[in-house]
């Protein structure tokens, strides 16, 4: 039962982030959503029915912003039972023309933010002896492709973080898992791919969100550390 539990979702946007918040609300949870763009957050909150969503501006790459975010959530709603790190950044570039500022920015959002959010969640949950922390990965979590180093480095690091946290926190009653999204999500600019390849070529955000929810509901006798999701037509 997840009714009256509290979920935190960071990196909320119009695709997967929104779907996650909507799924958790449907399960009877109170949801705190966080992202840098406050106006977009308000629009997303308004699009989700009910009064179970709270929107908070947060910069996941800034330590003070993250700690302040968790303090606000704890004060307004209580201690979270589920925390999802869904933030990411990507700048495609040749290594021959790479900009160090772009590289650091992508790493901070892709990995450093996961550490900051994961640490604050872990402090709460380990002390309580229960909770779930989920990290959103990508194809780049497993392999780096040409001109995708800005994404792969952060995602590799996030996966390592999830593995280390899972091994430390599992015995303390905290479930940590990493979800690999191996394909394009049906949102924003990727919707044009549906016209080229057919609708089954994209991952539906609601279907992905269902997997996140089921991970949170897993009995502790059979916890998953990593799940990879892809459309059934996707080659791998």
Q: Give the domain CATH number at 206.
A: 3.40.50.720
Tokens 């918040």 found at: 21
Is 57 contained in some domain?
yes
Is 29 contained in some domain?
yes
Q: What is the pLDDT of residue 195?
A: 53
Is 203 contained in some domain?
yes
Q: What is the pLDDT of residue 91?
A: 78
Q: What is the pLDDT of residue 196?
A: 65
Q: What is the pLDDT of residue 2?
A: 77
Instruction: Say how far apart CA 89 and CA 13 lie, in whole Å.
Output: 12
- Distances 205 to 160, 190, 230 between C-alpha atoms, Å: 25, 12, 11
Residues in the chain predicted with pLDDT less than 50, given as ranges, are none
Q: What is the pLDDT of residue 1?
A: 65
Is 234 contained in some domain?
no
Cβ burial 200-215 (10 Å sphere, 16+ → b, else e)? ebbbbbeebbebbbeb
For the chain, what is the radius of gyration of the CA atoms?
Answer: 17
Is 153 contained in some domain?
yes
Is 235 contained in some domain?
no
Q: How many domains does the structure of the chain reveal?
A: 1
Is 236 contained in some domain?
no
- Distances 109 to 28, 195, 217 between C-alpha atoms, Å: 30, 31, 27
Q: DSSP character for 88?
A: -
Q: What is the pLDDT of residue 189?
A: 57
- Distances 155 to 73, 118, 198 between C-alpha atoms, Å: 27, 15, 28
Is 182 contained in some domain?
yes
Chain segment 153-211, per-residue pLDDT in tens = 999 999 999 999 999 999 999 999 999 999 999 986 555 655 566 768 899 999 999 99
Give residue 225's domain range: 6-229
Q: What is the pLDDT of residue 150?
A: 85
């Amino acid at each position: 039962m997840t009714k009256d539990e509290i979920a935190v979702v960071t990196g909320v946007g119009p695709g997967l982030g929104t779907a996650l918040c909507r799924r958790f609300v449907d399960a009877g949870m109170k949801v705190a959503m966080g992202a840098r763009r406050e106006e977009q957050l308000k629009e997303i909150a308004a699009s989700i029915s009910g009064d179970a969503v709270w929107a908070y501006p947060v910069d996941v790459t800034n330590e003070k912003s993250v700690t302040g975010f968790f303090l606000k959530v704890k004060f307004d709603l209580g201690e979270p039972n589920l925390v999802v790190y869904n933030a990411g950044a990507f700048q495609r570039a040749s290594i021959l023309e790479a900009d160090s500022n772009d590289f650091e920015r992508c790493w901070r959002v892709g990995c450093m933010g996961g550490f900051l959010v994961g640490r604050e969640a872990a402090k709460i949950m380990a002390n309580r002896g229960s909770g779930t922390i989920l990290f959103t990965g990508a194809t780049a979590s497993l392999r780096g492709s040409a001109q995708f180093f800005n994404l792969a480095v952060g995602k590799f690091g996030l996966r390592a973080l999830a593995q280390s946290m899972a091994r430390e926190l599992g015995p303390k009653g905290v479930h940590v898992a990493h979800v690999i999204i191996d394909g394009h999500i049906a949102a924003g600019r990727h919707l044009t791919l549906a016209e080229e390849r057919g609708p089954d070529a994209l991952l539906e955000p609601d279907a992905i969100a269902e997997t996140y929810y089921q991970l949170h509901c897993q009995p502790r006798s059979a916890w998953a550390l990593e799940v990879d999701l892809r459309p059934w037509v996707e080659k791998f």
